[in-house]
Structure 1
Amino acid sequence: MNILIIGGGGVVGQKLAQALVKSGMLRGQAITRITLADVVDPAPVAAPFEIRTMICDIADPASVAECVSKDTDVIYLLAAIVSAHAEEDFDAGMKINLFGTYNVLERCRALGTSPVVVFTSSIAVYGGEAQDPLGDHSFPNPQTSYGMQKAAGELFINDYSRKGFIDGRAFRLPTISVRPGKPNRAASSFMSSILREPLNGQEAVCPVDADFLHYYLSPRRCVDNLIKGAELAGDDIGQNRVMQMPGTSLSIKQLIDAMTAVAGPEPAKLIRWDAQPDIKKIVSGWRWDIHADKAERLGLKADDSFEDNIRYYLEDDKPAA
């Protein structure tokens, strides 16, 4: 079993690789190689089998051809530029999020091997006049360029699967929190930083009101679901290869209350409330009444509570003092 993780240098890609190494199996077969590919050479992961790292620019078909080989069995297509970046730089978003996805799928078609392709979409595909509750069969009506690009990627996954070019499945990810590392250009970045930085003894800024609702999932559970998602049989998924990954809808206040329940009252005192109209404009178009009936029926899961999200960060990612 040879696995390629495109976006293997990112938080989810690295955690996914580590989880796959720990398991040693995918789709009932022993893993013999994992290739981590990203626009910057990814950090290697220790394993008892072959680990490759390589630079891959999915906007460049030649680079993709070097990355996706005939013996690749499973491709995790995680690479993307994030929401605020795609909104600021339309050309970059199109090259990477739209045509990058196309380039990977076209390479699969040219090889004729029909690999399993796991594509990470986003709840940013929802919005506008789509009616609540939202879920697997809701009409995508994104209100950002990033959401549009992800919605187009979903259509690619469905059609390339229908034609037999790939065995695809696409998951609309909730916002992943609490993410380790530093804030990035995602409009949702504050949904981790307002917890991560205070847990690390640093000040953080919250740009929205305490009653702002959103849909969340921990990195640990996201990785579990991505592994489960790759193992699903195509016939069980059905004609629509796109589904909502389970999450939980919570307010900012509920996130902070969960942090306080686990870590005590001091971290919350480090949150500074400072409205940021540019961020609020983007996130106000996002929706939160989301249901993941199909994925849950197929065995994917949400976190039991956001207190678990806090505990996972403290166990897995908090920097040593």
Structure 2
Amino acid sequence: MTKVLITGGGGFIGQKLARRLAADGSLRGRQITAMTLIDLAEPKAPEAPFPVRTLAADISDASAVAQAYEGGQDVIFHLAAVVSGAAEADFDLGMRVNLDGTLNIFQAARRQGDSPVLVYSSSCAVHGGEAPDPVTDGVELNPQTSYGTQKAIGELLLNDMSRKGFLDGRGLRLPTISIRPGRPNAAASSFMSSIFREPLQGEPANCPVSRDYPVWHLPPRMIVEHLLHAATIDGADFGPNRNINLPGRTDTVGEMVDAMTRVAGPEPAKLITWNADPVIEKIVMGWRQRLLPEKAVRLGFRAPDSFEDSVRWFLEDDHRDVAQS
């Protein structure tokens, strides 16, 4: 019997993950008996063969986190965060949610006393500065944004609390997720979805960087697969560092636009404008976009074959016509 908690359960990845778990009905070889979704606004509950509890909760409030843990949790997916652009613009907000909130999630898992599995959503933004190009496994973290710094601190806490046996942690450094459904958000990387999502739905979008800007990316389908895979691996297989760089693809924005054109024809690309944004450029230029995640590959994680697949999957899964049908 397995109980599952998803923080950020109202977000698009949290919702996709919840629907997948509801469809599978099991995790780590055991039947799921209950699932809890928490977010700032009460998340939507998927149809499931087990009870699904939804809570509106701020993870920076320790008492609200304690409520989410009532009855104990066997597997926790910690996805909730203030995204990169918002964390850079409001340092205190980023610290409160990304650092204090993460510590609340970890401490609540510790208080259970039975070392639950905890999958932590980190970010490739922990790399930067003097990191080599490409980034290899074992490179020291050198984030160049407040968001990356907050995620890096979370990684160190995850390692230490796993070492102490308080929890069974696994940290995934997510690449840019493209193509995200929904609307643009405050992430500095938001344009890396909007320049495809909006044109594919007949709407204009601006690209604030040049065509030759490289992007380390993964599609939503594969993010969900990686989260589930991380939860099923034996924690000891991660070794002393429980945090890994996920496999992804590095393509330039121009190459991604060309891939979209091969799938959807020339019309969507005509809706993209190319007006530079110095604020966005300063943030994203500090990220590393070429990585060699050999450890993750050994653990069974995989990279996408092409951005063309990402475009096809968006049209199948998240295009407005699909969502409304």
**Aligned residue number for residue 95 of structure 1:** 96
Distance in 2 (alpha carbons) for counterparts of 1:313 and 1:45: 20
2:188 and 2:283 in contact (8 A); partners too? yes
Where do 1:146-225 residues align within 5 Å?
146-225=147-226
Could you tell me the TM-score, scaled by structure 1's length? 0.98
Distance in 2 (alpha carbons) for counterparts of 1:244 and 1:285: 17
After TM superposition, give the deviation of residue 69 of structure 1 in Å. 3.0
Q: Deviation per CA, 1:49-100: give whole Å up to 9, x if none.
A: 1111111211011111111234210000000000010001000000000111
Q: Which amino acid aligns with 2:188?
A: A
Unaligned runs of 5+ in 1: none
2:211 and 2:252 in contact (8 A); partners too? yes
Q: Which amino acid aligns with 2:66?
A: A
Distance in 1 (alpha carbons) for counterparts of 2:120 and 2:236: 18
**Aligned residue number for residue 234 of structure 1:** 235
Unaligned runs of 5+ in 2: none
**Aligned residue number for residue 131 of structure 2:** 130
1:125 and 1:151 in contact (8 A); partners too? yes
**Aligned residue number for residue 84 of structure 2:** 83
- 81-90 or 287-296: bigger deviation: 287-296
Where do 1:234-273 residues align within 5 Å?
234-273=235-274
After TM superposition, give the deviation of residue 132 of structure 1 in Å. 2.1
1:70 and 1:113 in contact (8 A); partners too? no
1:136 and 1:242 in contact (8 A); partners too? no
Where do 1:275-294 residues align within 5 Å?
275-294=276-295
1:2 and 1:32 in contact (8 A); partners too? yes
**Aligned residue number for residue 21 of structure 1:** 22
Distance in 2 (alpha carbons) for counterparts of 1:98 and 1:250: 31
After TM superposition, give the deviation of residue 317 of structure 1 in Å. 0.4
CA RMSD of aligned residues (A): 0.9
SS in 2 for 1:107: helix
SS in 2 for 1:57: coil
Q: Give identity over the alignment, percent.
A: 55
Q: Which amino acid aligns with 2:306?
A: S
2:208 and 2:275 in contact (8 A); partners too? yes
Distance in 2 (alpha carbons) for counterparts of 1:185 and 1:9: 16
1:70 and 1:111 in contact (8 A); partners too? no
After TM superposition, give the deviation of residue 265 of structure 1 in Å. 0.5
Q: Which runs of 4+ in 1 moved over 2 A?
A: none
Distance in 1 (alpha carbons) for counterparts of 2:143 and 2:224: 25
Distance in 1 (alpha carbons) for counterparts of 2:140 and 2:45: 40
Alignment: residue pair count: 321
2:72 and 2:112 in contact (8 A); partners too? no
